[in-house]
Structure 1
């Protein structure tokens, strides 16, 4: 049995900023922390009422969700998904990277979300959506649906005789979704992938969804045939990260063009939620067309919480510690006090993030008996690791992203490393968005990047022709083609041109690996969070320049293979065991941010993040850190389960990095 103060010294800070990092609510199907139901309950009810209206009459409606930074928008979306998932299909749409691709981006993100399996279901949302269509549910057609493709298409065309874009090809792909061996290909076509010719043939289609008009048409198909299914909720989150206009303000008109089209074309059964920071919305809406603003049926502004709700937030975070304690503390707030809330928020209104941050600060001060120094880099490294691990779980292949998205990811990472980049290198309507130029700090030449992952060989030939044409015009001194997809065969025109151009003298080809995408995507997600005011360290909301500095100071991009191959970060001369190095770094950063933690708790948390490592290897790294005089064990001679691990701040005689 342990007292509450003994437990506090052994446990991590329940208000740790790493735990409040939010983002794509698709990754939060399971409720990992207790909630305070009264917080934003009115707003959730308002959105639920909009959903009821759509279920009743199938008319598309739009909700704008605004709130101050830290007011809990993303957290609300997660709660909304958990509450309403029996009644709607949920789609999360990341910020788009290029206004010329917004329809294609929306379609790709929509299909990606529909491919996810809801908690407790064996089928994806897309399969459940398909089975919910009236044509599919017609029992007299089941035998035909599961049999011959032509009859399937005929029956669907009979059920939906007009208004379907590329009806035969679209219904043919829906048929492919019913076949396990064709399901993935069908999804890739719907996502807008420019597939190989053999794949087109297998699906019975002639070409890809390769334009904004085509993407708009396919999204329209989902709306036109969805009246008999559950509504599709399209959540455009963090839209303040939209491409900027000449005034460096987010350009939201393309998004509202999409929204108005969904309304004007009478596409049924959609709910559009647009989530944005309040001050950015007030700036951007002045530049939007009034007719587009009129398409917002419900505007919801997240309110501040009151002190009773703030107190309840603290209690929910502290409860797991209190539950372990004997005897139980007199107050469910211990070691915090309600007076601290009253002093911090004399007006009685508070921001969710500020409440949690204050709780974390006071918790650590009680734990140590004094106000400790803070280390932004150590905290950031833990945030990075959590995001990186989530990205590894979610991103399973390079082509999960379009070439446009991959290009921007790389450009963002290079900007963080203070490599000046200039977008749209190639003078081609399509491939300019796949390319950019940059200036290496150690070279005088103008260098170029062209990232193309389209598997279609006809498209690859066109891409090589575009490269040859612009290289003849001296678009850059050296062009690097980044491509993991196949390059074709010796007989292909595109392959021959590739071998001629990218032979290493001076232009070259690099093959990216999936781990590079994990680095680039993790950074992009943090950029989006910073732009939305959701990236916080020690109660400080990080802007993009601060994030970029932390990226450089923490060296988290140092091990990205693609950046190493480009010569933008240095490769280690002697490669240490990467797993042991990561464990050692994690242990040190966790102790550094918690200041004091039970040794067994430290081991348990490390094994959660590095499940393939055994306990003896973790203890070995703890001993190494002790020998390096970076941490200390208290009491030194006690059994490991009775020890605490403490950080040893550097002194004049202890200057460990």
Structure 2
């Protein structure tokens, strides 16, 4: 079959142009007309290039589909699978060198969300992470966790989630209560700082894999990057790794001053450098989520930084809008209902405001 196909297509030398490649694909499609469609599967894409604005360039991937669709090439099926939940696995590989199983259940449905590691004093520890606010998705993950526990696939299950878990009467909630009430299994709520660690390392891994990361004039490999992180001990500040019992030694204490601990008679002085850190944090958070409620953004700033009060962060949001670094949408007299996003084109901004 290969020899026949080769003679029919006439592929005696390397394909030099995109037009020639499309001709080859068209011929392959004709050969497949009487059999099965040709499946082009781009599976588990992760190291995806970003646009100049820092957003994942999905269009570059979907252009592959357009290249096949526009010339009307027939008998092709294009499947594009994009991974969005590998952050924790990447960081675990840095600090944990024991047995790692990428799947906790035989089924591939939740393979990216459930995996396991071997811990000497505990045994097999399953780890699941789901932040989908959709409670139907939460139910399916809880059902998968229930199966893993009932099949004795792990001695302890650690479930990571900061989103809600529903309420009594929801089946996902009922599964959650059975799994995590009076059992060795634990529910961990990740801190925003921990998510920042994961996201930052994920970006560094992608940059190292593509050869775009430069440190001290050299381009480190992923192994070099792991060694650098271990030598610096910076990951000892990641609360989630401590919650998962992946770090040894004494856990560092957080030196944070709560609002009620501040003397009421002393004014709060905020330095320019501190406001600069807050400004950077707000913009980074907005870049990650694209669209947030104004109050959600302000609360995140208050939780991250102990000194600036909410009123100061609100003023900072207004200042960033004046500098056209972000856009505030919604009624001007009701901040609780306002949305904050990255700057929009002027015609799109007017459209949003007119419908608010």
With the length of structure 2 as denominator, give the TM-score of the two structures: 0.52
More contact order relative to length (CA 8 Å, sep ≥ 6):
1
Pair 1:234-2:98 in alignment: no
Q: Is the 8 A contact 1:404 1:434 kept in 2?
A: no
Q: Quote the Cα distance in structure 1 between the aligned partners of 2:143 and 2:82.
A: 17
With the length of structure 1 as denominator, give the TM-score of the two structures: 0.29
Which of the pair is proportionally richer in helix?
Answer: 1
Aligned-residue RMSD, C-alpha: 4.2
Name stretches of at least 5 consecutive residues in structure 1 with no aligned partner: 1-61, 63-97, 118-124, 126-190, 192-231, 237-257, 269-291, 293-401, 580-605, 614-657
Q: What does residue 341 of structure 2 align with?
A: none
Note the C-alpha offset of 1:488.
Answer: 0.6
Note the C-alpha offset of 1:259.
Answer: 4.8
Q: Quote the Cα distance in structure 2 between the aligned partners of 1:513 and 1:472.
A: 29
Q: What does residue 505 of structure 1 align with?
A: 183
Q: Is the 8 A contact 1:403 1:453 kept in 2?
A: no
The change in CA–CA distance for 1:536 and 1:430 in structure 2 (over 3 A counts) is: same
Note the C-alpha offset of 1:233.
Answer: 8.7
Superposed counterparts of 1:181-200, under 5 Å: none
Q: What does residue 266 of structure 1 align with?
A: 70
Q: Is the 8 A contact 1:558 1:570 kept in 2?
A: no
Note the C-alpha offset of 1:569.
Answer: 2.5
Aligned residue for 1:438, secondary structure, equals strand
CA offset digits 1:129-181 (Å, max 9, x no partner):
xxxxxxxxxxxxxxxxxxxxxxxxxxxxxxxxxxxxxxxxxxxxxxxxxxxxx
Q: Quote the Cα distance in structure 2 between the aligned partners of 1:545 and 1:478.
A: 30
Aligned residue for 1:436, secondary structure, equals strand
Count of matched residue pairs: 220
Q: Is the 8 A contact 1:413 1:520 kept in 2?
A: yes
Aligned residue for 1:410, secondary structure, equals helix
Aligned residue for 2:276, secondary structure, equals coil
Q: What does residue 156 of structure 2 align with?
A: 478
Q: Quote the Cα distance in structure 2 between the aligned partners of 1:403 and 1:454.
A: 16
CA offset digits 1:232-290 (Å, max 9, x no partner):
99346xxxxxxxxxxxxxxxxxxxxx55422121299xxxxxxxxxxxxxxxxxxxxxx
The change in CA–CA distance for 1:566 and 1:267 in structure 2 (over 3 A counts) is: farther
Q: What does residue 575 of structure 1 align with?
A: 253
The change in CA–CA distance for 1:475 and 1:429 in structure 2 (over 3 A counts) is: same
Q: Is the 8 A contact 1:419 1:438 kept in 2?
A: no
The higher radius of gyration belongs to 1
Q: Quote the Cα distance in structure 2 between the aligned partners of 1:554 and 1:608.
A: 24
Superposed counterparts of 1:415-430, under 5 Å: 415-420=93-98, 421-430=100-109
Note the C-alpha offset of 1:465.
Answer: 1.7
Pair 1:522-2:200 in alignment: yes
Q: Is the 8 A contact 1:423 1:436 kept in 2?
A: yes
Which of the residues 238, 263, 276 maps onto 1:611? 276
Q: Is the 8 A contact 2:237 2:252 kept in 1?
A: no
Superposed counterparts of 1:624-643, under 5 Å: none
Q: Quote the Cα distance in structure 2 between the aligned partners of 1:576 and 1:510.
A: 18
CA offset digits 1:271-317 (Å, max 9, x no partner):
xxxxxxxxxxxxxxxxxxxxx9xxxxxxxxxxxxxxxxxxxxxxxxx
Note the C-alpha offset of 1:575.
Answer: 2.6
Q: Quote the Cα distance in structure 1 between the aligned partners of 2:252 and 2:104.
A: 36
The change in CA–CA distance for 1:504 and 1:436 in structure 2 (over 3 A counts) is: farther
Q: Is the 8 A contact 2:122 2:155 kept in 1?
A: no
